[in-house]
Amino acid sequence: MDHFAYRDGRLFAEDVDLGVIAEAVGTPVYVYATATLRRHYRVLADALAALEPTICYAVKANGNIGVIATLAREGAGADVVSGGELTTALAAGVPASRIVFSGVGKSADEMEQALRAGVLQINAESEPELELLDQVACRLGVRAPVALRVNPDVDAHTHDKISTGRREDKFGIEWTAAHRIYARAAALPGLDLVGVAVHIGSQLTDVSPFREAFRRVRDLVAMLRADGLPIRTLDLGGGLGIPYGNEGTAVPPPADYARAVVETVGDLGCRLIFEPGRMIVGNAGILLTRVLRIKEGSTRTFVVVDAGMNDLLRPALYGAWHEVVLVREAQPGGEVREVDIVGPICESSDAFGSGRKLPAVADGDLLAIRSAGAYGRAMASSYNARPLVPEVLVDGSAWAVVQERVSVEAMLASQRLPPWLGSDVAAVRVAPAIAGRRG
């Protein structure tokens, strides 16, 4: 469920006409519905309530500070994978005591940042990382709360590029080596081994892989406790999928997921940590884009829009499917055409949909690319020197820009000519213009 619906022939985000936002802010622009963020968080929290969960929103899905702050006020913690995400989560009001620092490539500086902040735990993913973390913790005179992320060698049966729990994936400690590595880590003075972490992938539409992974985690916890390690936390990751509109299979409700948790690890007496991302923010956002022109080919019709793969990478990156709709509601029985929806980027992969059936569209029409709240703006780039697009958060009839559009002038202002190229005339002319527009 989301809160984007037609009223009087126009698509609204909650109580705001998307056309009003487009006129005021320009396109492309991401728009998020607060009501959807809150609802999705509460549905998950209610399903897991009997387990007294620690729900740490996966910031990588959507790192906008307004989105994070909205969820923090609902009680969410944060799962972060970089020093930048940690800083953002703290700035959004997430208590450090509800932040988990994950990721396969943490630097020593990031480890120190996390320990100084006092995060709940650090999820380590290799022996070298454990050794470095021990050194950093000893230097600071603290013990680092650590959970080892284990790779249970479970196939999540999702897209290859978003599977993370198989033997050949880069994430986590190999299942067969986990017992030995825990024993080694227990001897390091700077580490406090508090738990076990697991995450097998993203966009799962079946709870069976979760059950299989959680059963393996249960066995490992029993083994570690037999060795005298007081395992206190279980980080079960995220990964529950959302309906994008084309899967052909139903996405399991959070209640089914909660049942799988209860029946596999619910009696271990551990603090249970969850890292949902996509399931909370995915359907809470749309990418609003304007039609530039209709291009008629010999066999295909192209609808060229002003959003590009730099704004929403998922379709180009792994063939992700997003529903595309007109902001003005089509009339029943009207003309429908099969079109390819493409962007302005100089890449053949810059397309949002091929062979899509749309009502007749014209130059200047607004389109909404749905289910774009997760891994949309968070993965955007300035490829082709295109400014990063703004983000808008809606709450009822109120709306606000929560991320300004990044101007080309600002992008140029951060660049410098090397000394051997001298003072280029073009660069000299650009500088005053940048200063003038900023003022």
Do 116 and 160 reside in the same domain of the chain? Answer: yes
Examine the domain organization and report whether 226 and 307 are in the same domain.
Answer: no
Please give the span between the terminal C-alpha atoms of the chain, in angstroms, as a whole number. 43
Q: Specify which residues 7 forms β-bridges with.
A: 10
Pair (150, 250) in one structural domain:
yes
Closest CA to 4 of 22, 31, 25, 29: 31
Q: Give the span between the Cα atoms of 231 and 218, in whole angstroms.
A: 11
> What does the radius of gyration of the chain's CA atoms come to, in whole angstroms?
24
**Residues contacting 235, CB < 8 A, separation 6+:** 100, 121, 123, 147, 149, 195, 196, 197, 198, 199, 273, 274, 275
Neighbours of 228 (CB within 10 A): 7
Beta-carbon count within 10 A of 80 CB: 29
Q: Cα separation of 332 and 433, whole Å?
A: 50
| 393, 70 contact by CB (below 8 A) | yes
CATH at 341: 2.40.37.10
Q: Angle 202-31-360 (CA atoms, 0-180°, nearest 5)? A: 95
Quickly tell me which residue has 């200047």 as its tokens.
364
Q: What is the pLDDT of residue 365?
A: 97
Co-location of 272 and 310 in the same domain? no
- Structurally, how many domains does the chain consist of? 3
**Same-domain pairing of 71 and 129:** yes
The pLDDT value given to residue 418: 85
**Distance, CA of 326 to CA of 341 (rounded, Å):** 12
Angle at 390 between CA 385 and CA 395, to 5 degrees: 170
- Average pLDDT along the chain, 439 residues, taken 10 residues at a time: 93 98 98 98 97 97 98 98 98 98 96 98 95 98 96 59 44 78 94 94 85 90 90 93 73 92 95 96 98 93 97 94 95 89 96 94 97 97 96 98 94 86 56 36
Q: Which of 292, 298, 310 lies closest to 389 in space, CA to CA?
A: 310
- What pLDDT score was predicted for residue 177? 83
What CA–CA distance (Å, rounded) separates 171 from 168? Answer: 9
Q: Are residues 240 and 263 in the same domain?
A: yes
Q: Do residues 238 and 316 share a domain?
A: no
Q: Both 262 and 290 in a single domain?
A: no
Q: Give 360's DSSP letter.
A: -
Query: Quick check: pTM over 0.85?
Result: yes
Contact 290, 367 (CB under 8 A): yes
* Number of Cβ within a 10 Å radius of residue 331: 10
Containing structural domain, residue 175 = 34-280
Q: Which of 252, 280, 308 marks a domain boundary? A: 280
Are residues 238 and 165 part of one domain?
Answer: yes
CB 175 within 8 A of CB 235: no
| CATH number of the domain residue 217 falls in | 3.20.20.10
Residues marked active site are found at 346
The token pair at 337 is 């055409």
Are 42 and 126 members of one domain?
Answer: yes
Bridge partner list, 105: none
Torsion, CA 98, CA 103, CA 109, CA 115, rounded to 10: 30
Is 119 in a helix, a strand, or coil?
A: coil
- The number of angstroms, rounded, from the C-alpha of 128 to the middle of its chain's C-alpha atoms is 27
In the block, residue with structure tokens 């019709």: 301
Euclidean distance between CA atoms 277 and 79, whole angstroms = 9
Say yes or no: 102 and 191 in one domain. yes
Q: Using CB atoms within 10 Å of the CB of residue 405, give its burial: 0 to 12 exposed, 13 to 18 middle, 19+ buried.
A: middle
Domain co-membership, 59 together with 95: yes
**DSSP 8-state class, residue 388:** P
Least Cα distance to 264 among 217, 204, 195 occurs for: 217
Please, what is the angle between helix 254-265 and helix 34-48, to 10°? 30
Can you point out the beta strands (E) in 384-430?
A: 391-395, 398-403
